[in-house]
Amino acid sequence: MITRRSLLLGAAAVPKSQWRMPGESAPHKRTWMAFGAHQNIWGARLIDEVQQNIALIAKTIAKFEPVTVLVEPSLTLPARRLLEGAVQLLVAPLDDLWARDTAPLFVLGPNHTKAALDLNFSAWGDKQSHYRDAEVARFVARKANAQLLQTELILEGGCIEVDGHGTAIIAESCVLNENRNPGISKADFEQAISPLLGLEKIIWLPGVKGRDLTDGQTGFYARFAAPGVVLAGDDPLAPITKQHLKILKAAKLEVIPLTAPRKPRDRFQSRHLAAGYTGFYLCNGAVIAQEFGDAKADKNALSTLEKTFPGRQVIPLNCDALAAGGGTVHCITQQEPA
């Protein structure tokens, strides 16, 4: 069990002002991804298409910045067929494809130093086999020649959204969940995570436990467009989003709502369908977004993204198989800052 003493001891090794996690909109050195979609998890109906979704996203991002894709050894042939020549491929043991949660969070320090924070991936509270994915953060840190930072906290990259200037948005439903950090208080969590990411303020959203595999990660609810500006999901079928909008506005943020699609394509309909527009990914010069076949909602969301990011090209992709498994473009990417 994580205790207050162990958390504070873990954080004490890192001076408060040493590290800072840049926002996703800051320049990237590269994007990290994982080609690890196995049929035993994704099923025969989705597996081929979800692998194609990974490749489509990777090749689209590669038009704007370098992309390194980790490849599960047993999936080398399809990965090469779909990606060879477009991105860098590195063979690595993988359980699945969620690079946002398994890869480390990169932070910058003084004198151009870079470190990689291992968040002790536990498959969202031991909900899936993850002994190989638990080693991804260390593997990526080595390949990136980044110092490895460790914490006793258990969480995922998708739990944390930062503006790069000391403010984070975090959902209580995932990080203060008994299946990750039993017995931890909000204050103890803040004291442990803040020195590692250079945080001065955390805005807490309640989130929803148990509704999805991740217990309501922050990335499904709110994303920073810039310091003080947030794009937030607004889903009529999820009343919690209205509460989140009120909290974000009360925090003196400019809040831009992204209304979820009401009539997404039904080819891969499932109770896990991640049909929302907050799952975009910011790479150098572009916004990689998802469209769902709801003409009105897609148009409104893409127009909002174009207005919010005037210096970037907004590229909508059909990633329905990925969405059917509860994922977004953001869920399978992790940025390494320049």
**pLDDT at position 116 over 60:** yes
Question: Does 4 score more than 90 pLDDT?
Answer: no
Look-up of token digits 């932070």: 107
Positions of E strands within the chain:
28-35, 67-71, 88-91, 105-108, 114-118, 147-150, 160-162, 167-171, 201-205, 222-226, 229-234, 254-259, 281-283, 286-290, 313-317, 334-337
Give the separation between CA 317 and CA 289, rounded to whole angstroms: 6
Mean pLDDT (whole number) for 277-306: 98
pLDDT at res. 267: 85
Question: Interior CA angle at 82 toward 77 and 84, to 5°?
Answer: 80
For the 4-10+20-337 domain, the top CATH level (class) is: alpha beta
Q: How confident is the model at residue 2 (pLDDT cuts 50, 70, 90)?
A: very low
The yes-or-no verdict on residue 5 having pLDDT over 70 is: no
Q: Which residue has the higher pLDDT, 216 or 17?
A: 216
Q: How would you label 181-213 residue by residue, b for 16+ Cβ within 10 Å and e otherwise?
A: beebeeebbeebbbbbbbbeebbbbebbbeebb
Specify the pLDDT at position 17: 61
What was the pLDDT predicted at 270? 74
The residues, ordered by sequence, that sit 6+ positions from 24 with a Cβ below 8 Å of its Cβ are 223, 224, 281, 282, 335
Nearest to 151 by CA among 334, 14, 336: 14
Identify residue 11 by its one-letter amino acid code: A
Q: Which one is predicted more confidently, 13 or 208?
A: 208
Residue 269 scores a pLDDT above 90: no
And the tokens for 178? 């008994």
User: CA 65 to CA 125: how far, in whole Å?
Assistant: 33
The token pair that represents 37 in the structure block: 């979609």
In angstroms, what CA-CA distances link 156 with 19, 46, 99?
A: 18, 24, 10
Output the pLDDT for position 271: 74
Catalytic hit among 159, 174, 283, 331: 331
Which pLDDT band holds residue 16 (cuts at 50, 70, 90)?
low
Residue 214 has pLDDT above 50, yes or no: yes
Q: How many CB atoms lie within 10 A of CB 86?
A: 16
pLDDT of residue 7: 44
- Predicted TM-score (pTM) above 0.75: yes
Residues 155-180: what's their mean pLDDT? 98
Task: Tell me the two tokens of residue 126.
Answer: 């031991």
8-state DSSP, 133: G
The phi, psi pair for 104, rounded to 5°, reads: -75, 160
Which of 16-25, 62-71, 186-195 has the weakest average pLDDT?
16-25
Arithmetic mean of pLDDT, 243-265: 97
6 — pLDDT class (breaks 50, 70, 90): very low
User: How would residue 244 be classed by pLDDT, with cut points 50, 70 and 90?
Assistant: very high
Strand order in the sheet with 334-337: 88-91, 67-71, 28-35, 334-337
127 token code pair: 């909900």
pLDDT of residue 1 exceeding 50: no
Average pLDDT, the chain: 94
Is the Cβ–Cβ distance between 278 and 221 less than 8 Å?
yes
Q: What token pair was written down for 89?
A: 């491929």
**Dist. CA 241–CA 93, nearest whole Å:** 37
Q: What is the pLDDT of residue 324?
A: 95
Of 338 and 270, the structure prediction assigns the larger pLDDT to: 338
Give the separation between CA 152 and CA 85, rounded to whole angstroms: 39
Examine the residue annotation and report whether 174 is marked as an active-site residue of this protein: no
Q: How far apart are CA 27 and CA 279, in angstroms?
A: 19
Instruction: Over range 283-304, report the average pLDDT.
Output: 98
Per domain, the residue ranges of the chain are: 4-10+20-337
The answer on pLDDT for 92 being more than 60 is yes
Measured distance CA(24)–CA(330) in Å, rounded = 10
Task: Give the range among 1-15, 93-107, 119-133 with minimum mean pLDDT.
Answer: 1-15
pLDDT in tens, 308-334: 999 999 999 999 999 999 999 999 999
pLDDT over 90 at 135, yes or no:
yes
